[in-house]
Structure 1
Amino acid sequence: MTARIAIHPAVALIDVPRAITLSGFAAHTPVTLTLTSKQADGQVWRSRNVYLLDANGAIDVAQQAPESGAYAGVDGQGPFWSQSVLLTDDADAALLLAPAGADGAIHTLASATDGHGNHASARIEQHYAAPGAVRQELRQDGLVGTLYLPAGPGPHPAIVVLNGSGGGINDARAALFASHGYAALALGYFGAPGLPDYLSGIPLEYFERALQWLRHTVKPAGDFVAVSGHSRGGELALLLGSLYPRAVSAVIAYVPSSVVHGVLNAGKPGEGRFKPAWTQGGQALAHVWEQNAAQDWSLVDALPEPRRQAQAFVQAQQDETAVARARIPVERIAGPVLLLSAGDDGYWPSTQYARDVAQALKAADHPHAVEHHDYPQAGHALQAPHVPTTELARAHAVSGVVLTGGGDAAANARANVDSWETVHRFLSNAVAQHTPLAVAHAG
């Protein structure tokens, strides 16, 4: 029998779990399964795991833990999330793998070898954009982003996707939303061509204009437009929902803040941490670091890299006056709210922030659904399902300081899967329960 790797499905959306089975190898011997992928940024990642073959020279990865390798326990998706960056060049692997498309599709080569010279390989493609999805660049009226439209005729409910303090445009997540039936605008607001280089004094009217553009352009089903953001983007999503309640139908806040922050690590050179990040009507929004008697970054700044900076944010929360002044007025949001937090968040205390938001909404008798899903062992980097999760620390895209997001690879992988399923379910419910008339009179 010829050695074989079977991947099902070999080509599919990234949120689809893959079944990996090996057959035709030598019985009762170890087999090494290697996955090598090229991510959207061009980096090559790899996992190696050794499994013990059964009497037929076969295994189902979903039913057997590796004897050794990059992850432990039974997990059919372990070979994917346990990949780590190759620190040395592997020209052969790079040549074998196609570059990622505009949507960040991941191309992976799977290979397996036993100790008797039997070898098999297979290719895998994890896509963010479904076949037929339409990608349109937005460069109009000062707006910069990418609009993804689902395959097939509309109208479709819509969503705006916002990145955090690293800036840029999140094509991949918008493409994945579009693949599930949403007109998705990945909106940049700094750190992309045509936009400011830094998160400094960003006018919130920019986002109001983007919401108007999206409604005018795609004419969303039921006038439904959600806003989703990660980290500083989560802070921003809550801000937009509270400041423009007639324009925002639902809010999804990944590892967000309950208070407004200054520029922190993403401001202009020489600004420090405490210049304003957001303005409205030409005036800076108050933020929690202003005249904050409890703020102290000295311990964090003294840490070797990678730094865990969450403690500085916990410390700042002790100045109740500063917190009250900078609190996001979430009770003004005129739709359902989903909060996703990480209990081991190394960037900031997203669990406490999300809890504060949920409590404020409850105290205000918020008439719409409020969900808070916390992942106690996970870190800051909640992502799409089935991507590598081993890189817990990385240099900040603006400051260059190496920070740790927290969590561990397995916990982060589980959180990625569950959070995406939760978002998908939340949005489906929000669309089903949405009434345009309620939004028209809200706020």
Structure 2
Amino acid sequence: MCSTSKEGVILSVDPLSCLHDEPVHIKVSGLKPGQDVTLWSSMRDVRNAHFVSYAHYRADGNGEIDVDEMKSLGGQYEGLMPMGLLGTLVPAPNEYKYTRFFKRDVENPNVVTVGVYDGHISIEALCLSEDLKLLSSVIHKRHYMAPGVQRIPVRYGKVRGSLFLPPGDGPFPGIVDMFGTAGGLLEFRSAQLACRGFASLALAFFNYEDLPKVVEEFDIAYFEEAVEYLLKHKKVLGHGVGVIGTSKGGDLAVSMAAFIPSVIACVTINGFFAPANQGMRVKGFLYPPFKWDRNRVVMNDDGVFNAKLSIPPRTDIEKFLLPLEKSRSAFLFLVGSDDQNVNAEFQARWACKYLAQHNYRHDYRVESFPGTGHLIEPPFSPHCYASFQHTFMSAICWGGSAKYHTLGQEKAWKKMQDFLWHHLVEKGRVDNETHLSSVALRSHL
């Protein structure tokens, strides 16, 4: 859990190895009373892009620093932020500034170097100078897959993706998990959901293997086939599934809830309540999409594009609304109040108003997180304020402040799991024996 330097400085990270959604406790001892130091973290993603964070602290009268209890005096964040060294990781000064941390190899952990340096040092000096006094350092590993979690590549009919199964015989609540316009296959959320008792299918829907590189419209039949695959699996509860979608994946999730009766729990994360940019074909009928108005995209003072105002007014989007009132699904809309890519909170609250007007008999709710941006991911994923986006072929602002985004991700992760567990297990049409077995499993995990 710790490393001791020649000077007797002890840096501890507890635990030294853990699941990615778990917090750690960082402490330093053996310092001089009142000594100024810089805590530093460093990590590389799948592309070898270098991400760093740093914070300035001052030792107490015992020569100790406890990050859980002491405030940062400056650096990448200020104030009390126990997981700040992980939540505020940003591209190093020699990297492209607007780079998003990508994790595709979930079978290997993220490896984080945590160090403590003498004095209050700038990020440029930390990255570029070789004359700094390193007092102590440790290597910390953050795993996406718990022991016993299985990753199963999926090629079922036209369906492409990866299924993640918790350890044990099950059956487990099943989930279809989707992201947005980044395309390809992102597995990190599904891998972590499997650690928490869910059978999660990370579903690709374009630009992966033999799937189309570009999609002009989607067909609900593809997503029906994904649900069919889950429900046929012997380790998945067979009475219904949940769906999770971020951004573009959000309106795909809503489409699945609207047209696939077996979808009984739907989580959208900063998504839409109508098809965006690509339409949805349902049994020969095309539900057309609304389009972003590129003429309303503005440039922020920091030189990145803000697409929030490019979303059409609500009265225009209403023309493209899906028949949500015919769904059998419960809806949870997770939104960041500082989402600078989509006016997600307004859309989510309007969708709930629409459901209320139609006397919708299933659960629906909005959970909003102050200061949180567009890319709400599992806890302690590095906050990304802006990154290159293929739709606009430019750096796009996602919003959020590092401190509140980190807090928002923790809260959203718990809200999402509780919602899915409630609707897929506790309210599911399962016999009492299976129900108790599943609850016991989750308590064990």
TM-score (norm 1): 0.86
Q: Per-residue deviation at 1:182? A: 0.8
Residue number in structure 2 paired with 1:330 = 324
Superposed displacement of residue 357, structure 1: 1.6
Number of corresponding residues: 404
Give the match for residue 392 of structure 1: 385
CA distance in 1, matches of 2:202, 2:196: 15
Write the letter of the residue equivalent to 1:81.
Answer: G
In structure 2, how many angstroms separate the alpha carbons of the residues matched to 1:296 and 1:335? Answer: 31
Give 2:442's aligned residue. none
Asked if 1:50 corresponds to 2:56, the answer is: yes
Q: What are the Cα deviations for residues 81-125 of structure 1, in whole angstroms up to 9, with x where unaligned? A: 122111427xxxxxxxxx974346321011112359672111111
Query: 1:297 and 2:294 equivalent?
Result: yes
Task: Give distance in 1, aligned partners of 2:68 and 2:204.
Answer: 39
Q: Equivalent residue of 1:415, what SS?
A: helix
Aligned to 1:272: none
Structure 1 CA distance, aligned partners of 2:299 and 2:57?
44
Are 1:253 and 1:338, in contact at CA under 8 Å, matched by a contact in 2? yes
Q: Which residue of 2 aligns with 1:20?
A: 26
AA aligned opposite 1:174: S
Q: Which residue of 2 aligns with 1:287?
A: 289
Q: Given the alignment of the two structures, is residue 162 of structure 1 paired with residue 204 of structure 2, yes or no?
A: no
- State the alpha-carbon separation in 2 of the partners of residues 41 and 434 from structure 1: 42
Query: Do the aligned residues in 2 keep the contact of 1:103 with 1:129 (CA within 8 Å)?
Result: yes
RMSD (Å), alpha carbons: 2.3
Q: 1:110 aligns with which of 114, 117, 122?
A: 114
1-structure distance, mates of 2:64, 2:81:
17
**In the alignment, residue 306 of structure 1 is paired with which amino acid?**
V
Contact kept? 2:104, 2:187, Cα under 8 Å: no
Write out per-residue CA displacement over residues 335-359 of structure 1, whole angstroms, 9 at most, x where no aligned residue: 3211111222221210111111211
Question: What is the SS of the residue equivalent to 1:135?
Answer: strand
**CA distance in 1 between partners of 2:385 and 2:21 (Å):** 21
- Among 393, 398, 408, the residue aligned to 1:405: 398
1:326 Cα deviation from its structure 2 partner: 0.6
Matched with 1:311 is 309
Amino acid at match of 1:384: P
Distance 2:159 2:186 in 1: 15
- Classify the secondary structure of the residue corresponding to 1:425: helix
Q: Which runs of 5+ in 2 are unaligned?
A: 1-6, 96-102, 120-131, 432-445
Deviation at 1:73, TM superposition (A): 0.8
Contact 1:3–1:118 (8 Å) recurs in 2 = no
Residue number in structure 2 paired with 1:382: 376
Once the two structures are TM-superposed, the CA of residue 368 in structure 1 deviates from its matched residue by 2.4
Deviation string 1:26-84 (CA, Å, 9 cap, x unpaired) is 22211211111123443221112121012222110011112221101101011111221
Between 118-127 and 56-65, the greater mean CA deviation after superposition: 118-127
Q: SS state of the match for residue 16, structure 1?
A: coil
Once the two structures are TM-superposed, the CA of residue 302 in structure 1 deviates from its matched residue by: 7.6
Partner-residue secondary structure (3-state), 2:172: coil
Q: How far apart, in 2, do the equivalents of 1:297 and 1:324 lie?
A: 19
Of the candidates 224, 241, 261, which is equivalent to residue 225 of structure 1?
241
The 5 Å alignment of 1:168-317 reads 168-221=184-237, 223-245=239-261, 247-263=262-278, 277-289=279-291, 296-300=293-297, 305-313=303-311, 316-317=312-313
Contact 1:42 1:100 in 2 (8 A): no
Worse-superposed segment, 349-358 or 402-411: 402-411
SS of alignment partner, residue 350 of structure 2:
helix
Q: Decide whether aligned partners of structure 1 residues 109 and 30 sit closer, same or farther in structure 2, where only a CA change above 3 A counts.
A: same
Alignment correspondent of 1:9: 15
Q: 1:423 and 1:303 mapped to 2: Cα distance?
A: 32
Deviations along 1:347-376, one digit per CA (max 9) or x if unpaired, are: 121011111121122223322222210124
Which stretch of structure 1 is more off in the superposition, 56-65 or 406-415? 406-415
Whether the aligned pair in 2 keeps the contact of 1:26 and 1:114 (CA below 8 Å) is no
Tell whether the 8 Å contact from 1:32 to 1:112 is kept in structure 2 after alignment: yes
Measure, in 2, the Cα distance between the counterparts of 1:50 and 1:347: 32
Alpha-carbon offset, residue 154 of structure 1? 1.1
Deviation of residue 382 (structure 1)? 0.6
Residue identity matched to 1:307: F
**Partners of 2:173 and 2:421 within 8 A in 1:** no
Query: How far 1:184 moved relative to its partner?
Result: 0.5
Partner amino acid, structure 1, of 2:277: G
Q: What does residue 355 of structure 2 align with?
A: 361
SS in structure 1 of the partner of residue 318 of structure 2: helix
Residue 158 of structure 2: which of 142, 158, 182 is its match?
142
Number of the residue aligned with 2:3: none
| 1:311-340: CA deviation from partner (whole Å, max 9, x where unpaired) | 121xx225x3x4333112222221321111
C-alpha distance in structure 2 between counterparts of 1:220 and 1:380, whole Å:
31
Aligned 8 A contact 1:40 1:104 in 2: no
Q: 1:423 to 1:195 in 2, by over 3 A?
A: same
176-185 vs 195-204, greater mean Cα deviation: 195-204
Q: Name the CA distance, whole Å, in 2 between partners of 1:79 and 1:86.
A: 14
**426-435 or 392-401, which moves further after superposition?**
392-401
For 2:313, the aligned partner's letter is: Q
Closer, same or farther in 2 for the Cα pair 1:223/1:236, shift >3 Å?
A: same
AA aligned opposite 1:146: S
Name the % identity: 25
CA shift for structure 1 position 163 = 1.1
Where 2:233 maps in the other structure, the secondary structure is helix
Paired residues of 1:136 and 1:146 also in contact (CA < 8 A):
yes
Code of the aligned partner of 1:299: R
Distance 1:21 1:301, change over 3 A: closer
